[in-house]
Amino acid sequence: MNPKASLLIVDDEDAVRDSLAKWFDEEGYSVDTADSGREALLKLPGRRWDLALVDIRMPGMDGLELHRKLRDADPKIIVIIMTGYASVETAAQALKDGAYDYIMKPFDPDELDHTVAKALEHRRTKEENLRLRETLEEVRAVELVGQSPLMRQVLESILTVAHNDATVLIHGEAGSGKELVARAIHNLSPRRFLPMVTARCGALTDTLLESELFGHEKGAFSGAQYHKKGKFEVADGGTVFLDEIADITLKAQADLLRVLEEKEITRLGGNQAIKVDFRAIAATTKDLAALVKEGTFRSDLYYCLNVVGISLPPLRERKEDIPLLFDHFLSKYSRAMNKRFTGVSRPALDTLMNYPWPGNVRELENAIERAMVIGREPEIQAADFPLQVSPTLPPEGSLALDDVERGHILRVLEYFEWNQTRAAKALGIDRVTLYNKIKKYGFRKANAVA
C-alpha cells in the first residue's frame, strides 16, 4: 500500500464522512474531507488528490457533476462513487462517465479499503505503462526495432546510459546495429540538439587519423593546405562516435586516451591546447579485452572507454525479431519504391527464420530490399531472396540459367520502367551488356506485362 496516497472524501452525512476519514487516516493515507461538491471545489485550487470517494446524492451539486469537475481539473484522478440509494442506473452512468468504480452503502470498511488500494495500484501500473510506451516511442524515433528479451536489455541499457555522460563501448558483430545504438544514445541524451560526429578509426594511417580526430594546422604535413578542425572540435558539445576503435595503433591509443581524460586537444602541427566538450561512444566488432591481454590494446584506454559496455547480440540469437524487422524494412522500402507488398509468403518467412544471418541486420535489410526489387506484388516469395539466404529454386518451370536470367532481367527492367541505365546499375552490369541481353532475349517494352 502507498502510505502517501492522498484521498478526498465528499459526503454530506457527517457520520459517514468522519468515520471514513478516521479509517483511512489510520491506514496511512493523507485525507481531506468536504461536505458538499461546492466545498470540495473550493479546496481544489493548489490541491490534487490521487483518489476521491464521492457520495452520489448530495444537496446542491450531485456526485456525477462533481466527478466531472474533478476530472476536468485533473484527468488522472480516480473517482469512486458511493451510493446510498442503491440507484444502480445512476452509478452505471458514473462508470460511463469514467468513474473507476462504485460502492454501495452501507459498506464494509475492509472492502472499501481493498477497492481503494486496488484502484491506486491500477493507476500506478497505468502510469508505468504510459511511461514505458513513451520511452519505447522515443527509442522508436531512432528506429531501433526489436522486442526480443536480448534487444529489450539493450534498450534498457540505452535508456539508462543516455542521460548521463558516461563513455560507452558498444560491441557487436558487423551489421548488428552498433551505429544505430550510438545514434539512439545520442538522440536520447541531453546532447541531442548538438551534432553526433562519426570518426571511422579503422584503415587510417596515424597521421590521417590524428588529423581526423584532432584537426591540423596549415602545413602540418604534406597535403595539409588549410587548417582543419578535427571531430572532437566539430562535435562541439555533442557526441563523438569512434567506430572500429580496435584498429588504431598504440601511438594513436595514447593520444586518444589523453584527450578522453583531459578533454583537451592540440591540432596536428599546432601548439595550443583547445578545450573540447564531448561525449564519447566507441564501437568495435572485436573482443577488446582479449586484445588487451594480447598487448595490442592499452588497458587504460580500454577501461576509459568501457565505463558502460553494451553488447549487441547477433541476429541469429534473437530470431524472434526477424518478423518485426521484416515489417520495418518492408514499409521503409515500400515508401521509397512506391510498391505495395502486403507481406511475405509462409515458406519465405521460414527461409528468413532458418538462415543464420552472418551479416546480421544489414544483410537482412539488403535481402529484403533486393527481394522487393525482384519480387512481384503482393507477396515476397522465398525465391526473391539472394541465393545464400534461399537456396530454393524459382518455381518458374525451367531451371535453365538463361530462363532464370531472362525472367530476372525482365523484372528489373520492368521495375525501373525500362530505364536501362538504372536497370544495368541494379543488375551490376554495364549498359552495353544489358543492351545485348535485351536483344538476345528479344525483349520489347511490351514484354513487360508478361
Site residues for ligand ATP per CB under 6 A: 143-146, 172, 174-180, 285, 325, 328, 361-362, 365
User: Backbone dihedral region of 226: left (phi > 0), alpha (psi from -120 to 50 degrees) or beta?
Assistant: beta
φ, ψ for residue 388 (rounded to 5)?
A: -65, -30
Nearest to 308 by CA among 202, 139, 157: 157
Considering the complex, what minimum distance in angstroms separates the CB of residue 182 from Mg ion? 8
Point out the residue whose Cβ comes nearest to ligand ATP.
177
Considering the complex, what minimum distance in angstroms separates the CB of residue 179 from Mg ion? 4
Considering the complex, what minimum distance in angstroms separates the CB of residue 364 from ligand ATP? 8
Nearer to ligand ATP, 20 or 315 (CB): 315
Considering the complex, what minimum distance in angstroms separates the CB of residue 244 from ligand ATP? 7
Q: Which three cell numbers stand for residue 34?
A: 468536504
Options 89-97, 170-178, 314-322, 428-436: segment touching Mg ion (CB under 5 A): 170-178
Q: Choose from Mg ion, ligand ATP, none: what does 176 bind? Cβ within 5-8 Å by kind.
A: ligand ATP
Q: Choose from Mg ion, ligand ATP, none: what does 63 bind? Cβ within 5-8 Å by kind.
A: none
Q: Are 202 and 247 in contact (CB under 8 A)?
A: yes
Nearer to ligand ATP, 182 or 301 (CB): 182
Q: How far apart are CA 376 and CA 373, in angstroms?
A: 8
Q: Choose from Mg ion, ligand ATP, none: what does 144 bind? Cβ within 5-8 Å by kind.
A: ligand ATP
Considering the complex, what minimum distance in angstroms separates the CB of residue 285 from ligand ATP? 5
Q: Does 179 bind Mg ion (CB under 5 A)?
A: yes
Considering the complex, what minimum distance in angstroms separates the CB of residue 367 from ligand ATP? 12
Nearer to ligand ATP, 310 or 383 (CB): 310
Nearer to ligand ATP, 180 or 404 (CB): 180
Q: Choose from ligand ATP, Mg ion, none: what does 372 bind? Cβ within 5-8 Å by kind.
A: none
Q: Choose from Mg ion, ligand ATP, none: what does 121 bind? Cβ within 5-8 Å by kind.
A: none
Point out the residue whose Cβ comes nearest to Mg ion.
179
Nearest to 185 by CA among 312, 301, 304: 312
Q: Choose from Mg ion, ligand ATP, none: what does 362 bind? Cβ within 5-8 Å by kind.
A: ligand ATP
Q: Which of residues 187-226 bind Mg ion (CB under 5 A)?
A: none
The widest CA-to-CA distance across the chain, in whole angstroms, is 99
Burial of residue 251 (number of CB atoms within 10 Å: 0-12, 13-18, 19+): exposed
Considering the complex, what minimum distance in angstroms separates the CB of residue 351 from ligand ATP? 19
Residues that bind Mg ion (CB under 5 A): 178-179
